[in-house]
C-alpha cells in the first residue's frame, strides 16, 4: 500500500513550501487534461507527478476513446449517431446511478472529440468494419462495445464509437495520445514537478481541502492549493491488498493492466478525507475469443454443457459472464469450417473431436448435455433466430462434426483486467461524501474515480480514456472557477 497520511489540519502546517491555485495529483490523461483546463482558465496550476515523467497507464494504453453522438470521424466514415442514441445505449447497458455524469458524457462527446483533436491527438477518417479488440492498422474508428448485441441493438441504432488513436502500427495509440497532450501541456507552460509523491491532504477547519503533503527526494513539504486539488493518480490495479479484497477472482487468476504507480494512492487520498467509494468490485477483464471474427460463430458453454450468453457480446461482457459460471469454467466449441486459434493467444486448445460423445467425455460435462445444446442451437440456426440468446444473424452457422474446443475458463486462460471502482464523483468531478455532498476543494478524475460502467457487462473499450479526459477537463475548469467564485463571494 502507498503510505498516505492524514489528513493534516491547515492550522498544523508550519509553513507552506509552495502554493498554487489548483494542485493536480498525477500526470496521466486525467491530470494532463485537468492541468491544461485549469491553466487556460487563468489559474496558477501545479501538477505533481510521482514518476520521472508524465504518461501513467494512459501512455501504455491502446488509445481507444469511446466517443460518439456524431463525431467528425463517425460522419466521415458514413455512420450516423446522436447524443440521444449514445445516451439510450449507455443508459440501457450501464447501471450507474450517476445520471448527470452519464448525460454530460454523451452530450459533451462530440465537443470532447473536437477538443482532443485540437490538442493534436490524431484520429484517421477510416473505419475498421470487422470485430477486433483494437487495431493498429491506421483506422480511426471501430465498434468496441455491445451496441450490436441483443437487446441493445433494439434500444438504439448501433453505431461504432471506439475512436482509435491512429499510429504507424508499432507504437500504442495511448503513447501517441499522451505525446500529443503532454506536448501541448509543455508548450503552454503548465508547471509540473516530477519524482514527487503526494502523500496526504491538508484540510482547513471547515474541512475544505486546501493543500497537499509531498514527499520528494526523502524530504516532506507542504503545497497550498488556494482553489482546489484534483486527484488524478490512476487506478488501484497494482495494489494487491485492494485488488484481492475487492476483485478476488481476477486478482487471483488474471493479470492487472497498469503500471507500478497504479497502486491506489488517489483512492486512499480520497478515503483519508471521507470521500465515498463506488463500485469497488467492478472489473473489466479480457481474453477475447476474436479475432478472427469467425470464432464468434462457435458456441460458448459452461461446465454443465449449456450456453449462457450470446457469443457476439463485447469481450469484456463475455469475461463477466464467464466469471459468474460455476468455477468460472467455459469452453469455446468450433467446427472444422471456422476453426482457428484466437489471435490474442490467451486460451488453451483442448483437442479436436470426431463425435459429441468424445467431446462430452473429454470436457467432463454431463452426458448428453452438449448433444442437447448443439441440437437446440443448430435447429435455431436453421430457423434463422437464436431463440435462447439472440446472437446476431451475422454469426449464426450450423455446427457439425468434427469439433474443436478451446478452454476459455478464467483460472486456465490469460485474462487481463482493470478495476472500475473508485471515488464517487459528480458531473464536475467533485469528490462526494456518502451523503452526496462534495468535499469542498477536492476533485477526482480518471481511474481513481469510479467509472460510469460498473462491471465488464457494462463497459465498452475506450470508456476509461474518454471519461478521464472529459472529467479531467471539467475538474480543472471547475477547480479554477470555484475558487475564484468563492473569492468573489467572500469579498462581496
Ligand atoms: C495496456 C493498457 C491498455 C489500455 N487500453 C485502454 C484503451 O484503449 N482505452 C481506454 O479507455 N482505457 C484503456 N486502458 C485504461 C486506461 O489507460 C486508464 O484507465 C487511464 O489511462 C487512466 O488514466 P489516469 O490519468 O486516471 O491514470 P494514469 O494514466 O495511470 O496516470 C496516473 C498518474 O498518477 C501518478 N501518481 C500515482 N500516485 C501518485 C501520487 N501519490 N502523487 C503524484 N502522482 C501520482 C502516476 O505515476 C501516473 O503518472 C488501458 C490500460 C492499459 C494498462
CB-ligand 1 contact for 298 (6 Å cutoff): no
Ligand 1 atom closest to residue 214's alpha carbon, by position in its atom list: 42
- Stated as kind and residue range, the H or E segment containing 376 is helix 369-383
CB-ligand 1 contact for 62 (6 Å cutoff): yes
Q: How far is the centre of ligand 1, averaged over its atoms, from the C-alpha of 30 (Å)?
A: 8
How far from 472 is each of 21, 154, 163, 231, 288, CA to CA, in Å? 16, 33, 18, 9, 30
Q: How far is the centre of ligand 1, averaged over its atoms, from the C-alpha of 57 (Å)?
A: 3
At 413-466, the pLDDT tens digits run: 999 999 999 999 999 999 999 999 999 999 999 999 999 999 999 999 999 999
Confidence of residue 486 (pLDDT cuts 50, 70, 90): low
At 234-273, the pLDDT tens digits run: 999 999 999 999 999 999 999 999 999 999 999 999 999 9
Strand 192-193, strand 162-164: pairing: unpaired
Which residue has the least CA distance to atom 31 on ligand 1? Answer: 28
CB 413 within 8 A of CB 252: no
Question: Cell for 186?
Answer: 509543455
pLDDT of residue 1: 75
pTM here?
0.97
Category of 365 on φ-ψ map: left (φ > 0), alpha (ψ -120 to 50) or beta: beta
CB 132 within 8 A of CB 164: no
Confidence of residue 344 (pLDDT cuts 50, 70, 90): confident
CB-ligand 1 contact for 463 (6 Å cutoff): yes
Strand 255-256, strand 283-286: pairing: unpaired
pLDDT of residue 483: 56
- Tell me the fold of 1-283+418-492: FAD/NAD(P)-binding domain (3.50.50)
Q: How far is the centre of ligand 1, averaged over its atoms, from the C-alpha of 467 (Å)?
A: 12
- Output the average pLDDT for the chain: 96
CB 110 within 8 A of CB 468: no
Comparing 122-131, 140-149, 352-361, 474-483, the range with the smallest average pLDDT is: 474-483
Rounded to 5 degrees, what are φ and ψ at 405?
-130, 135
**pLDDT above 60 for 489:** no
Taking residues 468-481, report their average pLDDT.
Answer: 98
Q: How far is the centre of ligand 1, averaged over its atoms, from the C-alpha of 174 (Å)?
A: 10
Q: How far is CA 118 from the centre of its chain?
A: 23
The interaxial angle of helices 109-118 and 99-107, nearest 10 deg, is 50
Q: Cell 477472482 appears where? A: 249
Top mutation candidate among 4, 26, 165 for ligand 1, by most atoms within 8 Å of CB: 26
- Tell me the fold of 288-407: Flavocytochrome C3; Chain A, domain 1 (3.90.700)
CA dihedral 388→394→397→403, nearest 10 degrees, is -90
CB-ligand 1 contact for 267 (6 Å cutoff): no
pLDDT of residue 305: 98
Which residue has the least CA distance to atom 21 on ligand 1? Answer: 58
Q: How far is the centre of ligand 1, averaged over its atoms, from the C-alpha of 302 (Å)?
A: 34
**pLDDT above 80 for 487:** no
Strand 416-419, strand 283-286: pairing: antiparallel
**pLDDT above 70 for 181:** yes
Taking residues 3-31, report their average pLDDT.
Answer: 96
CB 250 within 8 A of CB 285: yes
Ligand 1 atom closest to residue 29's alpha carbon, by position in its atom list: 25
Q: How far is the centre of ligand 1, averaged over its atoms, from the C-alpha of 392 (Å)?
A: 34
- Cα separation, 244 vs 229, in Å, equals 29
**pLDDT above 50 for 282:** yes
Question: Cell for 155?
Answer: 434500444
Q: How far is the centre of ligand 1, averaged over its atoms, from the C-alpha of 470 (Å)?
A: 14
CB 10 within 8 A of CB 215: no
Top mutation candidate among 49, 134, 234 for ligand 1, by most atoms within 8 Å of CB: 234
CB-ligand 1 contact for 265 (6 Å cutoff): yes
Q: Where are the domains of the chain?
A: 1-283+418-492, 288-407
CB-ligand 1 contact for 215 (6 Å cutoff): no
Amino acid at each position: 500500500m502507498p503510505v498516505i497520511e492524514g489528513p493534516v489540519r491547515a492550522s498544523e502546517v508550519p509553513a507552506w513550501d509552495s502554493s498554487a491555485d489548483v494542485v493536480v495529483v498525477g500526470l496521466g490523461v486525467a491530470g494532463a487534461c485537468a492541468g491544461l483546463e485549469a491553466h487556460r482558465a487563468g489559474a496558477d496550476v501545479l501538477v505533481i507527478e510521482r514518476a520521472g515523467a508524465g504518461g501513467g497507464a494512459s501512455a501504455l494504453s491502446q488509445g481507444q476513446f469511446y466517443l460518439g453522438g456524431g463525431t467528425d470521424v463517425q460522419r466521415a466514415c458514413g455512420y450516423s449517431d446522436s447524443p440521444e442514441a449514445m445516451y439510450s445505449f449507455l443508459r440501457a447497458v450501464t447501471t450507474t446511478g450517476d445520471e448527470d455524469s452519464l448525460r454530460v458524457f454523451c452530450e459533451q462527446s462530440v465537443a470532447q472529440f473536437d477538443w482532443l483533436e485540437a490538442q493534436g491527438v490524431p484520429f484517421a477518417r477510416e473505419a475498421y468494419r470487422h470485430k477486433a479488440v483494437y487495431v493498429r492498422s491506421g483506422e480511426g474508428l471501430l465498434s468496441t462495445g455491445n451496441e450490436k448485441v441483443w437487446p441493445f441493438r433494439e434500444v438504439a441504432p448501433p453505431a461504432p464509437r471506439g475512436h482509435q488513436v491512429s499510429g504507424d502500427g508499432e507504437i500504442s495509440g495511448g503513447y501517441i495520445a499522451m505525446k500529443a497532450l503532454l506536448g501541448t501541456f509543455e508548450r503552454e507552460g503548465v508547471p509540473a514537478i516530477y519524482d514527487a509523491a503526494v502523500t496526504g491532504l491538508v484540510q482547513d477547519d471547515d474541512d475544505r481541502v486546501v493543500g497537499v503533503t509531498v514527499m520528494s527526494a526523502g524530504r516532506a513539504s507542504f503545497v497550498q492549493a488556494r482553489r482546489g486539488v484534483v486527484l488524478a493518480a490512476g487506478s488501484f490495479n497494482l495494489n494487491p491488498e485492494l485488488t484481492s479484497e475487492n476483485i478476488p477472482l481476477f486478482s487471483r487468476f488474471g493479470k492487472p493492466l497498469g503500471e507500478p504507480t497504479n497502486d491506489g494512492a488517489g483512492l486512499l487520498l480520497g478515503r483519508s478525507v471521507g470521500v465515498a467509494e463506488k463500485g469497488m468490485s467492478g472489473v473489466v477483464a479480457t481474453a477475447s475469443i476474436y479475432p478472427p471474427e469467425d470464432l464468434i460463430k462457435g458456441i460458448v458453454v459452461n461446465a454443465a454443457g449449456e450456453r449462457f450468453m450470446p457469443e457476439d457480446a463485447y469481450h469484456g461482457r463475455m469475461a463477466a459472464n464467464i466469471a459468474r459460471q460455476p468455477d468460472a469454467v467455459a469452453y469455446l466449441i468450433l467446427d472444422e469450417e471456422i476453426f482457428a486459434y484466437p489471435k490474442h493467444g490467451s486460451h488453451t486448445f483442448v483437442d479436436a473431436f470426431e463425435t459429441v460423445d468424445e467431446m462430452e467425455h473429454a470436457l467432463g460435462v454431463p452426458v448428453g448435455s452438449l448433444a442437447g445444446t448443439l441440437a437446440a442451437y443448430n435447429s435455431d440456426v436453421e430457423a434463422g433466430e437464436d431463440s435462447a440468446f439472440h446472437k446476431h444473424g451475422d454469426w449464426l452457422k450450423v455446427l457439425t462434426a468434427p469439433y474443436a474446443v478451446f478452454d476459455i475458463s478464467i483460472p486456465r486462460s490469460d485474462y487481463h483486467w482493470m478495476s472500475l471502482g473508485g471515488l464517487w464523483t459528480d458531473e464536475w468531478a467533485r469528490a462526494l461524501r456518502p451523503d452526496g455532498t462534495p468535499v469542498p476543494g477536492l476533485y477526482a478524475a480518471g481511474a481513481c474515480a469510479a467509472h460510469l460502467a460498473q462491471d465488464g457487462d457494462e463497459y465498452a473499450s475506450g470508456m476509461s480514456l474518454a471519461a478521464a479526459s472529459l472529467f479531467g477537463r471539467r475538474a480543472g475548469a471547475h477547480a479554477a472557477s470555484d475558487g475564484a467564485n468563492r473569492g468573489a463571494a467572500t469579498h462581496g
